[in-house]
């Protein structure tokens, strides 16, 4: 049986990581978001927001990390693996800032395909900023639209996760599989 690789994505502050954490507590194999790690490492090196300072370097590090996660998923021998964001998210963010990126990003998105894409729309009731999330709620809406375009351009069907409690969102995702 082929492994299901499921992406949970959406603009910043939509509850993706919280849902991933909940799935992990349910003993599902989950691949965490890596952009926070990259941002924290850059901050420790004196770069406040690497994505804003050097978006191509940031995106290159993301691409490398997300490919590594995809490959590591195969080693888990789990029937289903959840990813906190996928490779096409990189395109969406680069489009958001209006920056060209190497064709390799699209090629890698085609090479490493996911089974299902769940999109979590911006939700003002839970949105907040922090040291790694600097975008306003309005920017989160624009990023969300760019993410939808990025995944649709890769010929993915997108399932929108409705607002609700963590458990209701997780139930929706599991029932949709």
SS3 98: coil
The predicted model scores a pTM of: 0.90
Q: How much is the pLDDT for 115?
A: 97
Q: What is the CATH number of the domain that holds 25?
A: 3.40.50.300
Predicted confidence (pLDDT) per residue in 6-16, tens digit: 999 998 888 89
**Pairwise CA distance, residues 34 & 64, whole Å:** 10
Q: Answer yes or no: is pLDDT of 132 > 60.
A: no
Compute CA distances 35 → 58, 61, 95, 160, whole Å.
8, 9, 17, 22
**Pairwise CA distance, residues 32 & 116, whole Å:** 17
Predicted confidence (pLDDT) per residue in 28-67, tens digit: 999 998 887 777 776 777 766 766 677 787 888 889 999 9
Q: How much is the pLDDT for 133?
A: 55
Q: Residue 101 sits in which domain range?
A: 4-176
Q: Answer yes or no: is pLDDT of 131 > 90.
A: no
Q: Answer yes or no: is pLDDT of 127 > 70.
A: no
Predicted confidence (pLDDT) per residue in 57-86, tens digit: 788 888 999 999 999 998 988 999 999 999
SS3 119: strand
Predicted confidence (pLDDT) per residue in 141-172, tens digit: 899 999 999 999 999 999 999 999 999 999 99
How many domains is the chain built from?
1
Predicted confidence (pLDDT) per residue in 71-125, tens digit: 999 898 899 999 999 999 999 989 998 989 889 999 999 999 999 999 999 888 7
Q: Is 3 left (phi over 0), alpha (psi -120 to 50) or beta?
A: beta
For the chain, the maximum distance between any two Cα atoms, rounded to a whole number of angstroms, is 46
Query: Which residue stretches of the chain are H helix?
Result: 16-25, 35-44, 50-53, 55-75, 88-97, 104-111, 137-153, 166-176
């Amino acid at each position: 049986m082929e492994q299901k690789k499921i992406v949970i994505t959406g603009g910043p502050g939509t509850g993706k990581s919280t849902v991933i954490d909940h799935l992990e507590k349910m003993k599902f194999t989950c691949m965490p978001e890596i952009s926070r790690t990259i941002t924290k490492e850059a901050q420790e090196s004196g770069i406040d927001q690497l994505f804003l300072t050097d978006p191509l370097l940031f995106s290159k590090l993301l691409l490398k990390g997300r490919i590594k996660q995809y490959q590591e998923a195969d080693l888990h021998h789990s029937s289903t693996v959840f990813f906190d964001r996928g490779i096409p998210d990189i395109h969406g963010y680069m489009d958001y800032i209006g920056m060209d990126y190497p064709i390799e990003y699209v090629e890698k998105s085609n090479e490493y395909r996911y089974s299902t894409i769940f999109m979590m729309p911006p939700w003002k009731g839970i949105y907040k900023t922090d040291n790694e999330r600097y975008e306003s709620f309005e920017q989160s809406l624009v990023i969300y639209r760019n993410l939808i375009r990025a995944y649709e351009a890769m010929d993915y069907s997108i399932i929108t996760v409705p607002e609700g409690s963590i458990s209701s969102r997780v139930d929706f995702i599991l029932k949709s599989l």
